[in-house]
Amino acid sequence: MASFNSFDIESWERFYRANFVNCLTGFKSVNLIGTVNERGQPNLGIFSSIVHIGSNPPLVGYINRPVSAAPHTMANIQATKVYTINHIDPSFVKQAHQTSARYEAGISEFAEVGLTAEFQENMPAPFVKESHIKYALSLQQIIPIELNDTFLVIGKVISIHLDSEIVSADGFLNLEKAATICSNGLDGYYTTELLNRFSYAKPGIEPEKIN
C-alpha cells in the first residue's frame, strides 16, 4: 500500500493532482443542470457534486466552482431562482460530457451538443428530454465557501418526472433500471450493478438482505 502526505500532494503536477483528488472521494452522482437567464436563453452544464441535504423538506445541494471558472449556471439560478437536475444514461453520455466545454454565455449547450430542451408548465428552466429521471428545484440558499471561493447551492425539489417502473413499493428508486450512470474523477463514467439492499440497522442485530 502506497502512502502520500501533504507535501507529496502539494508537489504533484496540477492535472495529476486534480485527477487524483477528484477520484479520491469515490463514485459520484453525475447530472446535467438546466437553467435559463433572464432573457430565456437556455444553459446546460454537467455537474458531479450533487449532494443530498435532507428529505423533509426535500433539499439537494451542489458545489459550484469559483465564478471565474463556472459563471453561467449559478448566475442563471440567482436570476431566475429555479433550475432542473437531469440524470444521465449511456445513450447520451458523450453529449453530456461535451457540455463541460467553455461555451460563451450566449450559446445554448443543448443545440451545441445535440440534446433537446424540454419545457414543463410553470417552469422556465429547461429539462433534458432524453433524461429518464429529472426534477426541478427552487433556489433556497447559496452558501459561499471561502476556503476556495466555491459555493454550496441548495434547492428544494418542487417537481419530479421519471419512469414509474423504477419506483419500488417502499419509495426506493431502482436507478440501474433507468441506466443512470455515475462518474469518477473528472472524466470517467460508469454503469452500476445492484449488490444488495440491507434492512435498517439496529444494535446487536445482523442486517438482512432485502432485495
Closer CB to a second copy, 38 or 54, in the complex: 54
* Residue 109 to residue 97: CA distance in whole angstroms: 11
Q: Report if residue 2 touches a second copy, rule: CB under 8 A.
A: yes
| Residue of 11, 16, 78, 91 interacting with a second copy (CB under 8 A) | 16
| Residue of 49, 73, 76, 84 interacting with a second copy (CB under 8 A) | 49
Q: Is 40 left (phi over 0), alpha (psi -120 to 50) or beta?
A: left
Count of residues that bind a second copy according to CB under 8 A = 111
Q: Report if residue 191 touches a second copy, rule: CB under 8 A.
A: yes
Q: Report if residue 55 touches a second copy, rule: CB under 8 A.
A: yes
Q: Report if residue 39 touches a second copy, rule: CB under 8 A.
A: no
Grid cell, residue 209, equals 438482505
Helix or strand run (H / E) with residue 78 = helix 72-80
* Least CB distance to a second copy at residue 162 (A): 6
> Using an 8 Å Cβ cutoff, are 196 and 211 in contact?
yes
Closer CB to a second copy, 26 or 40, in the complex: 26
Who's near 8: CB < 8 A, 6+ residues apart?
none
